[in-house]
C-alpha cells in the first residue's frame, strides 16, 4: 500500500489545482491526485488529455455557469421522480394542477438553458483532434447526450413562446428513456471528469508546470522547486544511484528538498505537470513519503517502531518486484546514536541492492559518510559561515557537509556562558 499522507494531498496539493465550479468536480480532482497511474502508457495518455485542454484553452478559459443551476438540474435528474407523461397525456393536460405544471416548466427551463450553454459555448466548439482518440470518445458521449434534448430548438421556444404541455410531455418521455438506459449517471461522470481535467490543466498553466518524461533510467530534474514556497530556490538534480543520502545542518532545507523531489516524482506518476523547467523520472509503482515525523498513536507504535514497520513494508515490496520510490526524512533519529548509525548503515547498503527502486534518505549522522558503494551517492544542502553565522543557500551539492550549525547557534545565543 502506498504511504502518501505526508504529501498532505487534500490540504496542500489540492489548492494548486482546484478551480472547480462544484463539489462533484472537486471530488474528482482529489481522487485523481490521490491515485498514481499503474503504467507509463496511462501516464502518457493523461498528459496528452491535459495537453488537449491546453490546445482548446481559447474556448475553455471562460468555462462557467451558475452553480445553483447545476445543483438543481443534477438533483432534478438524479433524485426527483419524473413521470413519463406520454402515458397519460390527456390526464396531464386537463387535470394537472397549475402548481405541478409550473414546477415542470421551471425545472425544464433550467435544464434546457443549462445544457444549451454547455453545448453551444463549449462542447460543440472543441477541437476534438487535440485529444487522444479514447478521450475523444468520452467528449462525444457528452455531446450525444446533450444532442438528445434538441437544445437549440427548445432554447428558442423558451425565449420566444415558453414551454407548452406538449413540450413537457415530450421531455419527460425523453428523460424516462434516458433513465431506463442508465445514460444519466454516465453523463454526469463524464462531465465532472471533464471539469476535473479542466481545473487541473488550469493549475498546471497558472503554475507554469511542465510534463516530465516518465520511464527513464535515472532521475533528472532541472530548475525544480517546492511549489508551496513563495520565493523558492530552484535546484538541478541528476543522479543514477538508487540510494541518495542527503545531509546538511538543521534549517538548511533538507526536508523541503526531499518534498520537492517527491512532488516532482509523484506528480509525474499521476500524469500532470511538475514544478520544474524539465524532468525525467523512472517509473515506480509503490510510493512511500515520510517527511513529517510523528508517533503512530493509533497503532501504539513509537516513532522508532513506526519507521521500522514502514521500512519493512518497503523492503518487502521491493523484494517482491515492486519498483519503489521512498523518502526517509532523518531516518532512525528517534533512537540512540550508536544504534542509529549501525541500522542506517545496514539500511543504506541493503536498499542499494534493489536497482529498480529509488530511495532518498536524509540524516544528521556524520559517520554515515563512510558508507559507500556504487549505488549510493551523498548530497548536502549548502550552508556558508559568514562572520561565524550560518547563511543558508538552499542549493544542493554533491558530497558531505561538515558544518555543525547547532554548536554555532548554541554559542551565539550565549548559552555556553549562561550554563557555565
32 lies in the same domain as 104: yes
Q: Are residues 196 and 291 in the same domain?
A: no
**Same domain for 158 and 262:** no
Return the C-alpha cell found at 305.
Answer: 517502531
Residues 163 and 219 placed together within one structural domain of the fold: no
Per-residue pLDDT 10s for the chain (420 aa) are 789 989 999 999 999 999 999 999 999 999 999 999 999 999 999 999 999 999 999 999 999 999 999 999 999 999 988 888 988 898 989 888 999 999 999 999 999 999 999 999 999 999 999 999 999 999 999 999 999 999 999 999 999 989 999 999 999 999 999 999 999 999 999 999 999 999 999 999 999 999 999 999 999 999 999 999 999 999 999 988 999 999 987 777 899 999 999 999 999 999 999 999 999 999 999 999 988 655 454 555 577 888 899 999 999 999 999 999 999 998 888 788 889 899 999 999 999 999 999 999 999 888 898 888 889 999 999 887 777 777 888 999 999 987 777 777 777 778 888 887
Tell me: do 44 and 173 sit in the same domain. Answer: yes
Residues 133/49, Cβ–Cβ less than 8 Å: no
For residue 297, what is the enclosing H or E element?
Answer: none
Domain that holds residue 12: 5-207
pTM of the model: 0.92
Q: Are residues 136 and 218 in the same domain?
A: no
Main-chain phi, psi angles of 222, to 5 degrees: -120, 130
Helix residue spans in 79-164 (DSSP H): 89-95, 98-117, 133-147, 151-160
User: What pairing do the DSSP bridges indicate for beta strands 389-398 and 376-386?
Assistant: antiparallel
Q: Work out the burial of residue 398: count CB atoms within 10 Å of its CB; fewer than 13 is exposed, 13-18 middle, 19 or more buried.
A: exposed
CATH number of the domain within which 310 lies: 3.40.50.300
* Domain end marker among 182, 207, 232: 207
* Same domain membership, residue 257 and residue 183: no
**Residue 196 and residue 89 share a domain:** yes
Same-domain pairing of 195 and 266: no
Same domain? For 176 and 251 the reply is: no
- pLDDT on residue 410: 78
- Domain tally for the chain? 2
195: exposed, middle or buried (Cβ count in 10 Å: 0-12, 13-18, 19+): buried
Identify whether residues 148 and 221 lie together within a single domain: no
Among 149, 177, 207, identify where a domain stops. 207
Q: What is the reported pLDDT for 4? A: 92
Q: What is the pLDDT of residue 297?
A: 47
* CATH number of the domain residue 41 falls in: 1.10.1420
* CB distance 189 to 77 below 8 Å: no
Whether 129 and 222 share a structural domain: no
Amino acid at each position: 500500500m502506498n504511504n502518501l499522507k505526508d504529501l498532505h494531498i487534500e490540504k496542500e496539493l489540492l489548492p494548486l489545482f482546484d478551480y472547480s465550479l462544484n463539489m462533484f468536480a472537486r471530488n474528482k480532482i482529489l481522487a485523481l491526485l490521490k491515485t498514481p497511474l499503474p503504467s507509463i502508457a496511462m501516464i502518457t495518455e493523461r498528459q496528452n488529455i491535459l495537453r488537449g485542454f491546453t490546445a482548446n484553452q481559447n474556448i475553455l478559459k471562460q468555462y462557467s455557469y451558475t452553480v445553483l443551476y447545476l445543483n438543481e438540474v443534477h438533483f432534478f435528474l438524479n433524485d426527483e421522480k419524473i413521470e413519463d407523461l406520454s402515458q397519460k397525456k390527456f390526464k396531464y393536460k386537463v387535470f394537472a394542477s397549475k402548481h405541478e405544471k409550473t414546477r415542470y416548466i421551471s425545472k425544464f427551463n433550467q435544464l434546457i438553458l443549462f445544457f444549451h450553454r454547455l453545448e453551444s459555448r463549449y462542447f460543440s466548439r472543441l477541437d476534438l483532434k487535440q485529444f487522444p482518440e479514447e478521450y475523444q470518445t468520452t467528449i462525444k458521449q457528452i455531446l450525444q447526450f446533450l444532442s438528445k434534448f434538441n437544445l437549440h430548438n427548445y432554447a428558442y421556444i423558451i425565449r420566444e413562446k415558453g414551454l407548452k404541455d406538449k413540450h413537457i410531455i415530450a421531455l419527460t418521455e425523453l428523460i424516462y428513456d434516458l433513465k431506463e438506459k442508465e445514460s444519466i449517471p454516465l453523463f454526469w461522470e463524464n462531465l465532472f471528469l471533464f471539469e476535473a481535467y479542466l481545473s487541473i490543466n488550469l493549475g498546471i498553466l497558472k503554475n507554469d508546470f511542465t510534463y516530465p518524461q516518465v520511464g527513464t533510467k535515472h532521475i533528472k530534474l532541472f530548475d525544480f522547486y517546492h511549489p508551496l514556497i513563495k520565493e523558492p530556490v530552484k535546484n538541478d538534480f541528476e543522479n543514477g544511484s538508487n540510494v541518495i543520502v542527503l545531509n546538511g545542518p538543521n534549517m538548511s532545507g533538507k526536508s523541503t528538498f526531499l518534498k520537492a523531489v517527491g512532488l516532482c516524482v509523484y506528480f509525474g506518476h499521476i500524469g500532470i505537470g511538475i514544478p520544474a523547467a524539465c524532468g525525467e523520472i523512472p517509473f515506480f509503482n509503490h510510493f512511500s513519503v515520510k517527511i513529517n515525523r510523528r508517533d503512530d498513536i493509533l497503532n501504539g507504535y513509537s516513532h522508532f517502531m513506526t519507521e521500522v514497520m514502514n521500512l519493512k513494508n518497503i523492503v518487502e515490496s521491493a523484494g517482491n518486484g515492486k519498483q519503489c520510490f521512498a523518502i526517509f526524512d532523518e531516518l532512525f533519529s528517534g533512537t540512540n546514536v550508536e544504534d542509529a548509525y549501525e541500522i542506517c548503515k545496514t539500511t543504506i547498503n541493503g536498499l542499494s541492492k534493489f536497482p529498480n527502486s529509488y530511495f532518498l534518505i536524509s540524516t544528521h549522522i556524520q559517520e554515515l559518510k563512510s558508507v559507500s558503494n556504487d549505488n549510493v551517492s551523498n548530497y548536502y544542502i549548502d550552508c556558508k559561515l559568514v562572520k561565524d553565522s550560518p547563511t543558508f543557500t538552499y542549493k544542493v551539492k554533491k558530497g558531505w557537509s561538515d558544518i555543525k550549525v547547532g554548536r554555532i547557534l548554541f554559542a551565539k545565543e550565549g548559552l555556553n556562558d549562561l550554563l557555565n
